[in-house]
Amino acid sequence: MIRAGQELIRTDVEAYLRLQQNKSLLRFITCGSVDDGKSSLIGRLLYECKMIFEDQLAALEIDSKRSGTRDGAMDFALLVDGLAAEREQGITIDVAYRFFSTDRRKFIVADTPGHEQYTRNMVTGASTADLAVILIDARKGVLTQTRRHSFLVALLGTRKIVLAVNKMDLAGYSEDTFRGIEAEYRGFAAKIGLHDITCIPISAVAGDNVVTRSARMPWHTGPCLLDHLETVALDEPAETRPFRMPVQWVNRPSPDFRGFSGLIASGVVRAGDLLRVLPSGRSSRVAGLLNGGGATDVALAGESVTILLADEVDVSRGDVLAAAAAPPAVANQFEATVIWMHERALVQGRAYLLKLGAKTVSATVAPIKYRIDVNTLEHLPVNELALNDIGVCGIELSSAIAFEPYRDSRELGGFILIDRLTNDTVGAGLLHQALRRAQNVHWQALDVNKRARADLSHQKPCVLWFTGLSGAGKSTIANLVERRLHADGRQTYLLDGDNVRHGLNKDLGFTGEDRAENIRRVAEVARLMVDAGLIVLVSFISPFRAERRLARSLVEPGEFFEVFVDAPLATAESRDAKGLYKKARQGELPNFTGIDSPYEPPENPEVHLDTARLSPEAAAGVVIGRLREAGIIDVDLN
């Protein structure tokens, strides 16, 4: 029955091969624990589909007698438990991939272990599955592990579920038992977003409803398992989505050929298409296209190609080529679900390597918002993720990457985390959304820009504009803040009013016009320094709101921090370290702020320091705290 093709093989093997060529492929995962009969089920599918050769069957017979769990009868589970340790313990430890085909379809089965301690193996198997077969022991019903398996496959994006209620032979082939389990499972599955569910009562050992409909359960009107696997509709192919291809390798065999090689993640690309290179934002047209067969005019999702561009644009490994009309977002901060896969726990704030597509960047995970109890789906506050824990976290990268949410693209939304010392794959993750404003920003053609420079030094540039009366403590506090930032490895520069007047602005006096020009120049210098990726501290009396507003307007929103160093005139004057107030009072310094020129206090400063209450150290601490809140720095320097 399964090999109806046998006749065709004999008579016209070429025709048979053409049929094979056009078969579709279904990748599915089987989930269940040792007692649910998962290996037995796969063993039976392989056996019934004639995938087991005579010598393998002979070996199986010997194995069944030696280490089988069925009193010497054929133990199909032994066909699939591949590692010696697994056969000894009678359990499945690692993911095994099995291949079988019928006249209608080809199948790759990821056979994965069910115990909680092997969650990472199950997640590995689920990462490439189109469908999941979840096994339940009819005598036990929906268990904690059933819920865990379902949650994991849903998390990894497998939407099609087969609930195989196994061991019906041991449950008297009872319809009531089956219906009860089905109802309970559907109720639970709906809660985790699984709706495409097919429930089938089977017995893997007795063969009921596996490859043929069972006469012992006439009440089951649905398909048997194999019929369902052969006919279930496959997901909409990825070529209907916009074109994306992570660049794996730059192919430069000779000076006159420069191609960009990669596996197309989604969409279709044609010669002449306008593509955008991300994250740089440059665009160019497809000048030529090579696939497995050589030069071609069109290539689609799932093909490995080499693309030639019309212009000499800068493209390197890890960049993404995308349809210019619908490019993916670019960001460096994300919310993601992280699945931890290593004995050494995930530490918040520690640097790991993150690989997504062909790009590997430095990444820190912080904060861990919560851990999900995979059995109860409860959210639990935690400080670390241990082996097999799953949590929702913030992720910050050393440089921005092109990405898509995992629900839209496994290729541009799924990542792994790598330990920098051992090089082990320690975690996997699913990007959900970008945090902050990098989302949907496509940087335009500037090879080295502000972000690139700032990324190099792992910081976000900004201006800290200290304003206040002479003697209020601006320079003292700004110095303390700079020392703390410097000690943490941040690149800073302090522009001090007095010092600037010795050089850049030594041609300026103290007329209203010169004072305005003084501020304008300093604001422009601060802007350039922010563009250079620095954290700039400006310590200037800057008494007028309009001037400070001008300085603020020169940088991007969120990059300007107005720090009001607030001291009563009497206090400032009493300090008078430089003797300026005295001179001003004596009329030697005209237009001196606070004496014969007004000071306009900020209306909504980012930081307001009351120096009457705060010591300079405490005031510096307030500024650092504000920078941390704003995400300019990511560790608590206080």
Residue 253, H or E segment: strand 249-254
State the helix-helix crossing angle for 616-629 and 474-487, rounded to 10 degrees: 60
Q: Which residues contact 157 (CB under 8 A, 6 or more apart)?
A: 406, 407, 410, 430
Between CA 388 and CA 394 the distance in angstroms is 18
Q: HEC string of 344-357?
A: CCEECCCEEEEEEC
- In the list 72, 73, 97, 498, the residue contacting another protein (rule: CB under 8 A) is 97
Q: Minimum CB separation from another protein for residue 280, in Å?
A: 19
For another protein, the closer of residues 18 and 379 by Cβ is 18
**How many Cβ atoms are within 10 Å of 596's Cβ, its own excluded?**
12
End-to-end CA gap in the chain: 74
- What is the pattern of x (binds another protein, CB under 8 A) and - over residues 228-247? ---------x-x--------
**542 flagged as catalytic:** yes
Q: Are 170 and 130 in contact (CB under 8 A)?
A: no
Nearest CA-CA partner of 608 in 622, 594, 628? 622
Q: Which is nearer to another protein, 63 or 517 (CB)?
A: 63
CB 92 within 8 A of CB 34: yes
CB of 388 to another protein, least distance (A): 11
> Whose structure tokens read 């601006």?
474
- The residue among 109 and 500 lying less far from another protein, judged by its C-beta, is 109
Reading phi first (left if > 0) and then psi (alpha if -120 to 50, else beta), residue 295 is in beta
Report 67-96 residues binding another protein (CB under 8 A): 79-85, 87, 93-96
Extract the tokens encoding 497. Answer: 């009013």
* 115 token code pair: 């115990």
Nearest in space to 348 (alpha carbons), one of 305, 393, 309, 313:
393
Helix (H) or strand (E) holding 85: helix 84-89
CB of 417 vs another protein, minimal distance in Å:
10
- Asked whether position 363 contacts another protein by CB under 8 A, the answer is no
Nearest to 428 by CA among 333, 495, 336, 565: 336
Contacts to another protein from residues 270-329, by CB under 8 A: 290, 292, 294, 298, 300, 302-304, 306, 317
Q: Looking at 59, 197, 618, 637, which residue binds another protein (CB under 8 A)?
A: 59
Contact range with another protein by CB under 8 A, out of 101-109, 184-192, 473-481, 606-614: 101-109
Judged by beta carbon, residue 81 or residue 496, the one nearer another protein is 81
Q: How far is the CB of 127 from another protein (least distance, A)?
A: 4
Binding mask 417-456 for another protein (x = CB under 8 A): -x---xxxx--x----------------------------
Contact status: 127 vs another protein (CB under 8 A): yes
Length of the chain: 638
Which alpha helices (DSSP H) does 22-76 contain, by range? 38-48, 54-67
Q: How far is the CB of 495 from another protein (least distance, A)?
A: 43
**Shortest reach from residue 160's CB to another protein, in Å:** 18
Contact pick of 221, 254, 586, 604 for another protein (by CB under 8 A): 254
Closer residue to another protein (CB): 82 or 180: 82
Q: Does residue 188 belong to the site contacting another protein (CB under 8 A)?
A: no
Nearest-approach distance from CB 276 to another protein, in angstroms: 22
| Joined tokens for residue 246 | 């992570």
Could you tell me which stretch among 7-15, 138-146, 166-174, 327-335 binds another protein (CB under 8 A)?
7-15
- Residue 375, number of CB atoms within 10 A of its CB: 13
Closest CA to 529 of 500, 505, 557, 494: 494
Binding of another protein by 355 (CB under 8 A): yes
Residue 20 CA to residue 17 CA, distance in Å, equals 5
The residue from 261, 542, 553, 574 that is catalytic is 542
Walk across the sheet containing 535-539 and list its strands: 492-496, 535-539, 462-467, 560-566, 607-610
Residue 626: name the closest of 570, 579, 558, 532 by CA.
558
User: For another protein, which is the closer residue by CB, 425 or 571?
Assistant: 425
Among 2, 263, 550, 618, binds another protein (CB under 8 A): 263
By CB under 8 A, how many residues form the interface with another protein?
A: 81
Window contacting another protein (CB under 8 A); options: 22-30, 182-190, 443-451, 504-512: 22-30
- Name which position in 30, 40, 121, 166 contacts another protein (CB under 8 A): 121
Q: Is 255 in the site for another protein (CB under 8 A)?
A: no
Residue 242, amino acid: P
For residue 431, the minimal CB distance to another protein (Å) is 13
Q: Name the one residue in this structure whose structure tokens are 């809140």.
A: 629
| Position 489 contacts another protein (CB under 8 A) | no
The single-letter DSSP state of residue 203 is B
State the catalytic residues: 542
